[in-house]
C-alpha cells in the first residue's frame, strides 16, 4: 500500500526559484499529498508562475492575507510599504480568473485527522500572528484535532499542548506523542524570517506519526535579480538573502 506523506508548504510569495525546489523535493521524497497554506503571491517577482504551479497541483489550498488582498481592489491597508508594493505588482500580473480563484479559497480546512490554517484558528480572518505560547493558546482553543499546521509568521515553530502550552525546540524531525496536541508552523518557502534564507516546508507521515522539516537551498541570485528587473524595491531582494 502506498504510504501517505503530506508535503505542507506556506508563504511562497511569488518566489518561483524557491517554489520549484520545494516541489522537486516533494517528488524526490515521495510526498503523495501536497497542501498549500497560502500566501502564494505578494512580495517577489513571479506571482503568475507560482499561482499556476500551485493550481496545477490540484491540492488543498488555504487563503493567506496577501492572497485575499491581491484578489481585491481596495487599497492595501494593514500592509507596510514593502508589502503594499508586492500587492500592487501581483495585482497587475494576475488575471481576473486567478483573482477569483484566490478569493474563493477557504480560511481553514480539515484534512484527514488534522487541520490547516494560514494564520491562527482563533478568528482566521483577523490574520493574527502566532509567535508566542500565549498566542498559541488562543489558537489551541479552537483546535479540535491533535495536529494543526499553519504559516503566516514565516518562522518555523512547534507548540505542544499537554498540561499547558509550551514551545518545543525545533529538531529536524519530531516524533508526535499521543495525548499531546501540536500547532506546527511549517516556515516559509519564499521569504523565511528565521535568519536562514533557504526554503522551508514540512513532511508529515501519519503512519509513522512523524514530521520532518526540510530546508532547501535554491537559486537565490536569480530570484533577487528578477526582483530588481521587475522594478520591485531593493529591500525585497536583500531580505530574501538574509532570511529576514
Ligand atoms: Zn506570508
State pLDDT tens for residues 103-144.
999 999 999 899 999 999 999 999 999 999 999 999 999 999
163 CA from centroid of ligand 1 (Å): 31
Q: Which helix (H) or strand (E) holds 96?
A: helix 96-103
41 CA from centroid of ligand 1 (Å): 9
pLDDT above 70: residue 1: no
39 CA from centroid of ligand 1 (Å): 5
122 CA from centroid of ligand 1 (Å): 18
Contact by Cβ (8 Å): 205, 192 = no
Q: All domains of the chain, ordered by start, with CATH?
A: 6-110+172-178+187-242 (3.60.21.10)
229 CA from centroid of ligand 1 (Å): 22
9 CA from centroid of ligand 1 (Å): 11
How far is the CA of 65 from the CAs of 103, 159, 197, in angstroms?
11, 22, 22
224 CA from centroid of ligand 1 (Å): 18
Distance CA 144, CA 103 (A): 26
Distance CA 70, CA 41 (A): 8
3 CA from centroid of ligand 1 (Å): 30
Q: Looking at residues 216-244, what average pLDDT do you find?
A: 97
Distance CA 8, CA 33 (A): 8
C-alpha cell at 162: 499537554
Q: Looking at residues 65-79, what average pLDDT do you find?
A: 87
Provide the strand spans (E) within 20-146.
33-36, 108-111, 114-117
pLDDT above 70: residue 220: yes
Q: Supply the pLDDT for residue 78.
A: 77
Q: Looking at residues 203-226, what average pLDDT do you find?
A: 97
Confidence band (pLDDT; 50, 70, 90) for 223? Answer: very high
119 CA from centroid of ligand 1 (Å): 9
pLDDT above 90: residue 6: yes
Confidence band (pLDDT; 50, 70, 90) for 77? Answer: confident
| Averaged confidence pLDDT in the chain | 96
pLDDT above 90: residue 74: no
Q: Which residues surround ligand 1, an ion (CB under 5 A)?
A: 11, 39
- Rounded to two decimals, the pTM is 0.96
pLDDT above 70: residue 159: yes
Percent of the chain topping pLDDT 70: 100
Distance CA 1, CA 133 (A): 39
64 CA from centroid of ligand 1 (Å): 7
How far is the CA of 75 from the CAs of 70, 71, 89, in angstroms?
10, 11, 13
17 CA from centroid of ligand 1 (Å): 17
Amino acid at each position: 500500500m502506498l504510504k501517505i506523506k503530506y508535503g505542507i508548504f506556506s508563504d511562497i510569495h511569488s518566489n518561483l526559484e524557491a517554489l520549484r525546489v520545494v516541489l522537486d523535493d516533494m517528488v524526490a521524497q515521495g510526498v503523495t499529498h501536497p497542501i498549500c497554506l497560502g500566501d502564494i503571491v505578494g512580495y517577489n517577482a513571479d506571482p503568475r508562475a507560482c499561482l499556476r504551479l500551485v493550481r496545477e497541483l490540484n491540492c488543498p489550498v488555504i487563503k493567506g492575507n496577501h492572497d485575499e488582498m491581491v484578489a481585491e481592489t481596495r487599497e492595501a491597508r494593514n500592509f507596510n510599504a514593502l508589502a503594499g508594493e508586492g500587492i500592487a505588482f501581483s495585482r497587475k500580473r494576475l488575471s481576473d480568473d486567478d483573482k477569483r480563484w484566490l478569493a474563493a479559497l477557504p480560511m481553514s480546512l480539515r484534512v484527514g485527522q488534522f487541520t490547516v490554517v494560514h494564520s491562527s484558528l482563533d478568528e482566521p480572518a483577523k490574520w493574527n500572528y502566532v509567535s508566542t505560547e500565549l498566542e498559541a493558546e488562543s489558537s489551541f482553543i479552537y483546535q479540535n484535532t491533535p495536529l494543526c499546521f499553519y504559516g503566516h509568521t514565516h518562522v518555523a515553530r512547534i507548540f505542544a499542548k499537554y498540561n499547558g502550552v509550551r514551545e518545543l525546540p525545533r529538531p529536524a524531525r519530531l516524533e508526535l506523542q499521543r495525548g499531546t496536541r501540536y500547532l506546527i508552523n511549517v516556515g516559509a518557502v519564499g521569504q523565511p524570517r528565521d535568519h536562514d534564507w533557504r526554503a522551508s516546508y514540512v513532511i508529515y507521515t501519519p503512519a509513522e506519526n512523524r514530521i520532518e522539516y526540510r530546508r532547501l537551498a535554491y537559486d537565490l541570485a536569480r530570484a533577487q535579480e528578477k526582483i530588481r528587473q521587475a522594478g520591485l524595491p531593493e529591500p525585497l531582494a536583500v531580505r530574501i538573502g538574509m532570511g529576514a
